Amino acid sequence: MIRQLNEIKDETLQKINKAENISQLEDIRVSVLGKKGNLTNILRSMNTLSAEERPVIGAAANTVKESIEMSIADKKEEILNSAMQAKLDKEYIDITLPGKKVEIGSLHPISKTAIELVEIFASIGFSVAEGPEIDFTKYNFDYLNTPVNHPARALTDTFYINEDVLLRTQTSPVQIRTMLSNKPPIKVISPGKVYRCDEIDATHSPLFNQMEGIIVDKDITMSDLKGTLEFFAKQLFGPQTKTKFRHHQFYFTEPGAEMDATCPKCKGLGCRVCGNTGWIEILGCGMLHPNIMEICGISHLEYSGYAFGMGIDRITMIKYGLEDLRLVYENDIRFIQQFIGR
């Protein structure tokens, strides 16, 4: 029986030595030490032995068992270590290689312009008011003194959801909402997206960005309007910028005007951008129409105010010398990247 034990030991140690992975090792363990393992069988048959033989064989069997167990544990550790080493070798990181370049994004030119416009007006006390892009027809047209037969109301020019609800065609509804829910003094700007049924071309898009502003207070005059907007133009295009106001009729102002600024590209000398006139139209403005103030519950005898509005996209095109509006909406990364840091 001792011989049999030694055979089991030698044979098993050889197998353990050749094992290549943990599962092979486990199979070996079960075949020798498991419930039906050959060493277990020998230990079970011990009760057939004589009282003298039993302790001798028992001791020998335990020595064999221990040596197999130790040998399995050693081999297991060896296999795990070499697996870990193989993994480390495979996933070796060369810390001297240059790192992956992290691409730094940039604000879209329209966002840059919008932020700049807001900052200029915020610096002289305007706060930002926001409103829904889907709004009531009354806020977009009726309360703004727009005649019922005005072409802007036509189905061909405006995206209607139904008769009473539409995609706002201007940010003016925000001003109406502000006047309806606040008492003067009011001093807000309202940047945001607006929608019109325009075909896309070099200067039109069905979605574009506007920013309007409004002041309502006591004793507001046309000279306040001119002073504020002149300050704005100089902040935007530089201190040498000159402005001029031309009369223009809007249905929500009285009187109304358009403001031109000296072309920032040629500084007023005349170039392709300004059509050789030296001037570029920047915005529309005017004193608030008394009708609108009354509609919003503000007495035009007690208060006065002015409003102005400009296209953020248009200002962006002027500021960066762009000739085609489509460039800013195509989201071509090569175009957008040119504005990093500008």
Site residues (vs Zn ion, CB under 5 A) = 263, 265-266, 271, 273-274
Query: Residue 280 Cβ, how far from Zn ion at the closest point, in Å?
Result: 7
In whole angstroms, give the CA distance from residue 250 to residue 146.
9
Number of other residues whose CB lies within 10 A of the CB of residue 120: 17
Residues 79/23, Cβ–Cβ less than 8 Å: no
Query: Residue 160 Cβ, how far from Zn ion at the closest point, in Å?
Result: 39
In whole angstroms, give the CA distance from residue 79 to residue 72.
10
Residue number, nearest CB to Zn ion: 263
Residue 217 or 281: the one with the smaller Cβ distance to Zn ion is: 281
Residue 105 or 239: the one with the smaller Cβ distance to Zn ion is: 239
Query: Residue 279 Cβ, how far from Zn ion at the closest point, in Å?
Result: 8
DSSP collapsed to 3 states, 13-31: HHHHHHCCCHHHHHHHHHH
Query: Residue 241 Cβ, how far from Zn ion at the closest point, in Å?
Result: 12
Residue 131 or 270: the one with the smaller Cβ distance to Zn ion is: 270
Closest to 312 in 3D by CA, of 236, 216, 230, 200: 236
Query: Residue 282 Cβ, how far from Zn ion at the closest point, in Å?
Result: 13
Residue 274 or 322: the one with the smaller Cβ distance to Zn ion is: 274
Query: Residue 263 Cβ, how far from Zn ion at the closest point, in Å?
Result: 3
Closest to 32 in 3D by CA, of 43, 21, 45, 18: 43
Number of other residues whose CB lies within 10 A of the CB of residue 50: 7
- The partner residues of 214 in beta bridges, in order of sequence, read 188, 307
Tokens read off for 232: 């704005």
Residue 196 or 265: the one with the smaller Cβ distance to Zn ion is: 265
Residue 202 or 269: the one with the smaller Cβ distance to Zn ion is: 269
Tokens read off for 6: 């030694």
In whole angstroms, give the CA distance from residue 292 to residue 175.
10
